[in-house]
Amino acid sequence: MDNKHIIDRKSKSFALKIIKLCKSLNGDMVDSVLARQLIRSGTSIGANVKERLNAQSRADFIYKLQVALKEADESAYWLELLHESTIISDEVFSPIYSELKEIVAIITASLNKLKNTSDSAL
């Protein structure tokens, strides 16, 4: 897969890891509430990244990536809460959080490039 679609692969891989993480949680009320929120935002990143491929306009394409970025920020928040409340360990938190930060960096770079590129370059 070429570099142009690396964000598709990474965001889907991240979503699958989020699903596995949430399935492994205790299942008590707090875990369930946090897991539900994390599932929503963590899987939405990839969904919006994927939706950009069928954007109806340049603005719609950019909007889908901006929504993906917002969902990534929300996912970071839920992961931080799970970690800081000691529901998940450093060993679980660190790699998935690093992966999320990498996704954020790729989306941010893509948005910056789009904002500095003409319509014909898409």
Q: For residues 39 and 62, give the distance between their C-alpha atoms in angstroms, rounded to a whole number.
A: 23
pLDDT tens column, 18-54: 999 999 998 899 999 999 999 999 999 999 999 999 9
Q: For residues 121 and 98, give the distance between their C-alpha atoms in angstroms, rounded to a whole number.
A: 31
At residue 117 the predicted structure's pLDDT band, cuts being 50, 70 and 90, is confident
Q: For residues 87 and 28, give the distance between their C-alpha atoms in angstroms, rounded to a whole number.
A: 11
Q: The pTM is what?
A: 0.90
- The amino acid occupying position 26 is N
For residue 110, CA distances in Å to 8, 31, 49, 52, 80 come to 12, 34, 11, 12, 25
Write down the H helix ranges in 27-57. Answer: 29-51
